[in-house]
Amino acid sequence: MKTLPPETCAAYLGILAGIKQHHRLYDVHVHPYEVLFDRFTYQDSASAPGVLSLDGKGYSTPSIYHFRFPELTDLGNDSKSIRLQDISVMLLKKVYSFVGEKVFSDQMELGGIDKVLLLPVASESSSATQFENRLRWVTEYYSDQRRFAIAGSVPGSVPTDGLRDYILSQQVRFNIKAIKCHPVVTGIDLSRMARKQWLAELVRACGQCRLPLIIHSGRNNPYWGGKRTNCAALENLKRINFSCSGTPVIIAHAGFHRCTMSDILTEGLPLLKNMLSTHDNLFVDISGLTFEPLKVVIEHLPANRILFGSDALYAPQWESVILTLHALRVKGRRIEDDFIKYASINPRSLIFEEKTNVQYAADQIPSVP
């Protein structure tokens, strides 16, 4: 497995420190709790304010360690999905042992990030009321608006004709800054025409509410178990009229989540490039990508259509920063210039600024004052 020693990681973070002297940096893809199963219950830590603990153990501030490149393991279509799901939950208990403002602020301090967009996700079984309770929990434990912006999400039980009103209610009650749609976790089977129409209306409703929409896209992970499928593949998004929304639509993971390099190069990339050329308001984030797919995105997509995301805490935020900087260097790009677009100019213009009606040209992001 390819690695980077701590001194190389420190050198990249030194580049980041230089960038931060003149630019605020943003991460548009952070999950404030474990969203794939949403089974964990936390308690306030008596010894560490701003920390919620899963098992009562003491919290330790994160640090830089020997960086190992994340790799994609092809699990195939394992029939023992329930067993895989049990394994996944067990592993995620370690990843999400601690949450809360201090936990994420420590991640941000290490990775040089100033503000993040928190992405709660409505589970397949949650009702509108149940998800609102979860969103209320997020706003309570991540109340520092200088560091945390919060997105909403929409349960699949909300009818097509009720999407706009449901989103508006979240805006009023929780001051959300975007909507996150995870078709796999929420149970939105986009292989069905009725659910494609539901998503098309969600796109339209986000435009009416002047909110960006972040859509998970890629291949299913067998470790998620249950009846989950590849319903969020780019193939199921290609005929959605994203242009009907005047606000940004962001394809998470560039649509390549857990896709093989063969699938990306022969199918995914041509499809994604066509979608981007068709819809001026369509963008991608690079969260959760391993090194080879990340290099493909950097090489083939314009920098003004890419936003930085880490997928924290599923991956340490500082690792995602370093992986991106290293990929830029390997591809011979201007590291500072491109990363500033990914992590500062683009997210600030598209998500973190208050905007009135704005139309985005295919080759231009609104300038930052």
What is the model's pLDDT at position 3?
A: 84
pLDDT reading at 363 higher than 70 = no
Q: Are 110 and 62 in contact (CB under 8 A)?
A: yes
Q: What one-character-per-residue DSSP string does 282-309 give?
A: EEEE-TT--HHHHHHHHHHS-GGGEE--
Domains identified in the chain, total number: 1
Alpha-carbon span 256 to 268, nearest angstrom: 7
- Which is higher by pLDDT, 365 or 155? 155
pLDDT band at residue 44, thresholds of 50, 70 and 90? confident
pLDDT reading at 200 higher than 70 = yes
Alpha-carbon span 63 to 195, nearest angstrom: 43
* Residue 47 within any structural domain of the chain: yes
Burial status of residue 73 (CB atoms within 10 A of its CB: 0-12, 13-18, 19 or more): exposed
Residue 88 in tokens = 């996944």
pLDDT band at residue 221, thresholds of 50, 70 and 90? low
- Which is higher by pLDDT, 80 or 175? 175
* Residue 184 within any structural domain of the chain: yes
- Amino acid 250 reads I
Alpha-carbon span 110 to 62, nearest angstrom: 8
- Which is higher by pLDDT, 91 or 367? 91
Give Cα separations from 332 to 11, 205, 295, 312, 336 (angstroms): 17, 40, 11, 27, 12
* Residue 12 within any structural domain of the chain: no
Alpha-carbon span 346 to 342, nearest angstrom: 6
pLDDT reading at 358 higher than 90 = no
What is the model's pLDDT at position 228?
A: 59
* Residue 304 within any structural domain of the chain: yes
Alpha-carbon span 52 to 100, nearest angstrom: 6
* Residue 322 within any structural domain of the chain: yes
* Residue 10 within any structural domain of the chain: no
Domain holding 254, by residue range, is: 23-65+77-352
Q: What angle do CA 362, 367, 369 make, to 5 degrees?
A: 165
* Residue 367 within any structural domain of the chain: no
Alpha-carbon span 275 to 287, nearest angstrom: 19
Closest by CA to 210, choosing from 341, 359, 342, 346, is: 359
What is the model's pLDDT at position 273?
A: 97
Say which CATH number the domain at 233 has. Answer: 3.20.20.140
* Residue 358 within any structural domain of the chain: no
